[in-house]
């Protein structure tokens, strides 16, 4: 079970990971895009961080919706609508919830992914965040179907995401500004995929540490 408190912690951790890796994300983007991914994501998640205190008494869906609206109105570029849509769909999928079962988690991860596909019109292999999010959701679903709990399923999902991220390196970009590089985009890791990986890894970190704490 993932609690509302953990969701807030996750967003807090993700925001600090973005801040910490701001330069790295921007450098990855400079290589094949327009050198603003870290700057834009950090601007958005700083705004989200300022709202954290107001999340305390809200349900998960409301938190996701607020995160979405904040990102949509402050990130800009392609990342704003894509992450904004991801959290907006996550909000719809978690209506009224204060905690999430494995099935709820799957529903929210799947809904977010579907939203990103509709908004961005990318396909697998286009060297985008989809190449990280999609294998993660597939792995999570399979793990849940095999009877794993949220923490174990997330661990499998994050390692699928990491592998997906590595696989963006040899891909030729077909979406966004990187697409104009054609073959010259080969050999570079996708910046949007990198931030998407950080997002899932942050979620695992929070949920996992909580569990260990519980055992101790």
Partner 1 sequence: MKKLINQPEDFVKESLAGMAVAHADLIQVNYEPSFVYRTDAPVQGKVAIISGGGSGHEPMHVGFVGMGMLDAACPGEVFTSPTPDQMLAAAQQVDGGAGILYIVKNYSGDLMNFEMATELARSEGIRTLNIIIDDDVAVKDSLYTQGRRGVGTTVLAEKICGAAAEQGYNLQQLANLCRKVNLHGRSLGVALSSCTVPAKGTPTFALGDNEIELGIGIHGEPGRERVSMKSGDEITEILVRWLCPSQASLIDNIDYSRTVREWDEAQEGWVDVELLNKPLQKGDHILAYVNSMGGTPVSELYLVYRKLAEICEQEGLQIVRNLIGPYMTSLEMQGCSITLLKLDDEMLRLWDAPVKTASLRWGV
Q: Name the site residues for partner 1 (rule: CB under 8 A).
A: 26, 30, 34-36, 39-40, 43, 72-82, 84, 119-121, 172, 174-177, 179-182, 184
Residue 127 — φ and ψ, nearest 5°?
70, 60
Comparison of 82 and 206: residue with beta carbon closer to partner 1: 82
- What DSSP designation does 36 have? -
Closer Cβ to partner 1, 75 or 206, answer by number: 75
Q: Any bridge partners for residue 100, and if so which?
A: 2
Smallest gap from residue 165 Cβ to partner 1 (A): 20
Query: What are the φ/ψ torsions at residue 2 (nearest 5 degrees)?
Result: -100, 125
Instruction: Considering the complex, state which of residue 182 and residue 187 has its C-beta at the smaller distance from partner 1.
Output: 182
Q: How far is the CB of 87 from partner 1 (least distance, A)?
A: 13
Q: Which is nearer to partner 1, 89 or 175 (CB)?
A: 175
Q: How far is the CB of 199 from partner 1 (least distance, A)?
A: 18
Closest CA to 61 of 89, 87, 101, 91: 91
- Please give the Cα distance from 202 to 207 (Å, whole number): 9
Residue 69 beta carbon to partner 1: minimum distance, rounded to whole angstroms: 8
- Cβ–Cβ contacts within 10 Å for residue 8, how many? 18
């Amino acid at each position: 079970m993932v609690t509302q408190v953990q969701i807030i912690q996750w967003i807090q951790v993700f925001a600090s990971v973005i801040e910490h890796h701001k330069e790295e994300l921007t450098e990855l983007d400079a290589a094949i895009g327009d050198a603003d991914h870290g700057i834009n994501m950090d601007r958005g998640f700083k705004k989200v961080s300022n709202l954290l205190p107001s999340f305390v008494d809200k349900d998960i869906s409301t938190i996701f919706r607020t995160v979405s609206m904040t990102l949509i109105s402050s990130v800009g570029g392609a990342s704003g609508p894509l992450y904004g849509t991801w959290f907006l769909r996550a909000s719809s999928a978690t209506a009224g919830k204060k905690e999430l079962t494995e099935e709820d988690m799957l529903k929210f991860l799947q809904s977010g992914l579907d939203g990103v596909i509709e908004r961005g019109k990318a396909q697998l292999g286009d060297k985008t965040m989809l190449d990280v999010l999609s294998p993660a959701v597939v792995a999570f679903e399979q793990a849940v179907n095999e009877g794993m709990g949220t923490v174990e399923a997330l661990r499998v999902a994050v390692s699928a995401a990491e592998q997906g991220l590595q696989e963006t390196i040899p891909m030729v970009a077909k979406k966004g500004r990187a697409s104009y590089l054609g073959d010259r985009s080969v050999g570079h890791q996708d910046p949007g995929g990198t931030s998407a990986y950080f997002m899932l890894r942050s979620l695992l970190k929070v949920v996992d540490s909580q569990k260990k704490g519980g055992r101790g």
